[in-house]
Every structure is written in structure tokens, then in C-alpha cells.
Amino acid sequence: MGRYIIRRLLQAVPLLFVISIIVFVLIMNMGDPLVSFAGRSGQVKGKDRERLIRQLGLDQPIYVQYLVWLVGNDWMKIDVDGDGIPETNGTRMGVLRGDLGTSVVTRQPVIQMIMERLPNTLLLMVTAEVVIIAFALFLGITSALRQYSWYDNIFTGLSFVGYSMPVPLLALGLIYIFGVYLKRSGLPYFPTVGMFEPSAGKTWEQILWHLVLPVATLSIISIAAYSRYIRSNMLEVIGQDYIRTARAKGLMNRTILFKHALKNAALPIVTLIGLDLGFLMAGALVTETIFSWPGMGRLFYDHAVKSDLPVLMGILMLISVSVVFFQLLTDITYTFLDPRIRYQ
């Protein structure tokens, strides 16, 4: 196992290197990187544009810009002020040295901006993931044990409706029903924006109350998908010979269900959860934007509109690292669920 983990970590280095090149090229060609300096005019013109291009190193070839982002620019001299004399443009650290750069919009370090938003996204997404797993396991197992019953038929229909529901439509529907309509009716209602009411302060009661609708939006679609996988895998496992043998030995149904059937049926679900956990760092862009939740998704959206390339690169690389890490964690989890799996 130790050799496998070391090998996977070593494989992750060139993988992340290739991902960083692809993402960097795409990001650098997604729009005008000087749009954040335009102000009300909408664009930077003339000598100001030329000066900013030189200062930011945007007149350099794409591979030089990538090297500056990767290892810093203290090794390179360029003509910053246009006087024909090359000089160093500061000593900005590179990603390999632990610096993701500085936002061209807020002038703050990118790593600081990400760390300020990351706890909010983790709170939202981890809460949603716990709700998803709990409800999906209950609904999927119950539906498999009552195959073709009225419960199974109703659950199947609702799951298809939930899975096909677009996130914006679902979010707006929940806002109208549980936020607007209940408030108009004089009933207790759920807040629809932010993490807390400014008048009440940032308390745990306020945060949990504001979590309800965003978590419901994220959970409903995933519960529908997860529960269908669980139902399908449980039906397949229940029909295996070793399950019939366990029943013939007189084992309790609860023992057969949770100790033998669920462990083997959970392998595909672990893969899905591993992928979802990898994208926790990104946050749910649409959900966080609709509910004004101050997380990574909202941060990405706000700075994508302003073409803040350092922030976008920092978030995307953080996502890439988290995906690689959680996929490794998923592979390790397999060995605990199925003793037959061994990594040599």
C-alpha cells in the first residue's frame, strides 16, 4: 500500500503539470486581461494599455508568461517603463514557491482570498454531502428491499424528476415557495441570501438557518442520482450466491444487509463521492451565486466576469490538486470495503 501511494503521488506531479499548462493557456485566451483596469470606459486605450501590457508581462510569449506564473519573475528582466532599458519587474514568487500571485482587481494575494472563502464553501458542501449520503442510502436501500412496490414506483418517478431538474429552476422554486410565499403568508420562512442577517450577527443559529435552502438545492439532484445507483447495486448484490448462503446460515437480516450487501454495493458510490469531494473546493457556482453565499463558487464567478486571471488560475489549480488527492483517497477506501482489492 505504501509503495502504491508513493507511486500515485509521483504520477500526480506530471499530471498536475500538464493540467496547469492546459488551464493556463485557456485562461490567458478567455478575454481581455486588462478589463479590470478599464473603469467606466470599458477598455484601456493608447499608451496606458501599452504600459500595463509591459508591466504585467503580457507582451511576452505564452511560455514565458507560464514560467513567470510557475516559478516567479525574479529571473527575468523586461522593459517595464518603455525606456529601452530592461529591468526586473519586482520579485514576485511563483506557484512552486507557494505564491499564487496577486489579484489585479483587489490587489490582494490570491491565496489569502481563497483561504477567506474556502471555509464557507466547505461548510456548505460538506453539509450537503452528509445530507446527500444519509438520504440516498435510506431511499436507495429501502427501494431495493421493496422492489416494484408502490413505494419503489413513487420513489422512481420522483427521482427522475429530481435528477432532471435544472439547478437554477430548482433554486428559484425553493426561494419562491420557502422564502417569498411563506413570508407573504405570515408563516416562518427561510432566508434566501447571505450567511447571516447583519442585525443578528454571524452566529451558528443564523448560519444553519441560512444553510437550509442552498443545501436543499445541492442535495435534491444528487440524492436522486445517488439513490438510483444504490438501488441498482443493492439489487445486484442481494441476488448473489454469498447473500443466499448468509441467509441459509440464519444470519440476521440487518447483519446481511449492512455487513455483506452494503459494503459491496458501496464501491461505485464511493467513486461518485470521491469525485464530488474533489470539487468541494470549487463550490457550487450557480447555487452560491443565486443565494449570495460567499464561497469559492461566488469568488470564481465574480472574478471571471472581471477577467481576474490570477484568481481564476489559483482556484482551478486548487480544484485540480483536490481532485487528485480525493481520487487517491477513494482508491485507498476500496481496500477497506473489499478485502479482495490489493494494490501491489
Q: What CATH number does residue 263 fall under?
A: 1.10.3720.10
Same domain, 272 and 146: yes
Does the residue 267 lie in any domain?
A: yes
**pLDDT at position 239, please?**
78
> Do 92 and 116 fall into the same domain?
no
Confidence of residue 43 (pLDDT cuts 50, 70, 90): low
Q: Is residue 3 part of a domain?
A: no
Cα(325)–Cα(318) distance, integer angstroms: 11
Instruction: Say if residue 73 is in the same domain as residue 167.
Output: no
Q: Which of 14-18, 29-33, 74-78, 233-237 has the lowest mean pLDDT?
A: 74-78
Task: Answer yes or no: is 19 within a domain.
Answer: no
pLDDT of 210 above 90: yes
**Count of CA atoms in the C-beta half-sphere (13 A) of 82:** 11
Mean pLDDT is lowest, of 30-34, 66-70, 111-115, 174-178, for: 30-34
Examine the domain organization and report whether 151 and 76 are in the same domain: no
Q: Which helix or strand (DSSP H or E) is residue 237 part of?
A: helix 204-238
CA distances from 215 to 174, 187, 199, 284 (A): 11, 21, 23, 10
**Does residue 62 sit in the same domain as residue 184?**
no
Same domain, 327 and 240: yes
71 and 212 both lie in a single domain: no
Q: What CA–CA distance (Å, rounded) separates 314 from 309?
A: 9
C-alpha grid cell, residue 51: 504600459
37 pLDDT band (50/70/90 cuts)? Answer: low
Question: How many independent structural domains does the chain possess?
Answer: 2
- Among 97, 122, 137, the domain-final residue is 97
| CA dist., res. 111 & res. 93, Å (int) | 12
Task: Check whether residue 52 and residue 165 sit in a common domain.
Answer: no
Question: Is 175 inside any structural domain?
Answer: yes
Q: Are 53 and 177 contained in the same domain?
A: no
Residue 277 covered by a domain: yes
* Residues 172/266, Cβ–Cβ less than 8 Å: no
The last residue of one of the domains, among 66, 97, 128, is 97
Q: What is the pLDDT of residues 244-278, one digit of tens each?
A: 888 888 878 778 777 778 777 777 788 888 877 77
In a domain, 311, yes or no: yes
pLDDT of the residue at 85: 54
Tell me if 104 is assigned to some domain: no
Whether 202 and 307 share a structural domain: yes
Residues 52 and 133 in one domain: no
Contacts of residue 6, defined as CB under 8 A and 6 or more positions apart, other chains included, come to none
229/84 same-domain check: no
Domain boundaries, position 59: 24-97
**pLDDT exceeds 80 at position 138:** yes
Phi, psi of 94 (to 5 degrees): -100, 175
Taking every pair of C-alpha atoms in the chain, what is the biggest distance, in angstroms?
A: 89
Residue 325, pLDDT > 80, answer yes
Q: Classify residue 343: in a domain, yes or no.
A: no
